[in-house]
Structure 1
């Protein structure tokens, strides 16, 4: 899975994008969802959280998540501490859910390898004006 979060304003209208591939690298699904007013980091964590929830729903045993958010990936691998209280709640939820999947790998990718998820996240954030 490739995940991304976007915020227009930071905080501002935010969206998440998820691109789902199977074990043979075939595209099997996409998610583009408006998530309300959030910071960019909250949106990034929200995308990751939704990806893990989807994996749990489909009873996935092995999960590889790729994100272009170096901060989020390094926090989840223990390289960086989480100091923001709002982010800490999301971080703790991700860590809790992650334990329910036997084999989870979260890795950082350069932005140009995450363009599809980025597009979906920005598209969802832009939908704010259309949702009433």
Structure 2
């Protein structure tokens, strides 16, 4: 089974404050498929984290025709809260996050891929973090 790995991160300078998302996408061999860094306006760090996951799903949808039907998708994130909420360990009480989670669940079903969420240490998520900071610094 082919695999795509999506490293996601979100950040906010102020909480809420100017925010950005980062998604670094690779194949199973580590070859880069895409890098996404984008400012999302004034938001909380949690909204930015969720928005990064949503950006990964949007990339998958845009590229669905060129991806195998039996694809395994792994999302790696360093946010313990986002991870715990995405896997259903914690409830999502914030209405903004609940709306984004609803969009994520719709895209999961629409794509039909085997999707997994993994929590990783910050050191293993440096490329997504760098994309967030470059977006916040207007470098991308």
Please say whether Structure 1 and Structure 2 have the same fold, judged by a TM-score greater than 0.5.
Answer: yes
Does 2:82 align with 1:72?
A: yes
Contact 1:2 1:65 in 2 (8 A): yes
Instruction: Say what the alpha-carbon RMSD is for the aligned residues.
Output: 1.4
Does 2:134 align with 1:123?
A: yes
Give a deviation string over 1:21-70, Cα, whole Å, max 9, x none.
01322122211111111100000000000101101211143211101111
- Could you say which residue in structure 2 is the equivalent of 1:21? 26
Contact 1:7 1:14 in 2 (8 A): yes
Q: Structure 1 segments of 4 or more deviating over 4 A?
A: none
Contact 1:13 1:126 in 2 (8 A): no
Does 2:46 align with 1:41?
A: yes
| CA distance, structure 2, for counterparts of residue 78 and residue 105 of structure 1 | 12
Query: Could you tell which deviates more after superposition, 13-22 or 99-108?
Result: 99-108
| CA distance, structure 2, for counterparts of residue 10 and residue 47 of structure 1 | 17
Give a deviation string over 1:70-127, Cα, whole Å, max 9, x none.
1111111110000011111111111111122321111111111001101111221232
| CA distance, structure 2, for counterparts of residue 2 and residue 70 of structure 1 | 14
Contact 1:55 1:63 in 2 (8 A): no
- Could you say which residue in structure 2 is the equivalent of 1:88? 98
Unmatched segments (≥5 aa) in structure 2: 1-5
- Could you say which residue in structure 2 is the equivalent of 1:104? 115
SS in 2 for 1:78: coil
**Higher RCO (C-alpha 8 Å, min separation 6):** 1
TM-score by length of 1: 0.91
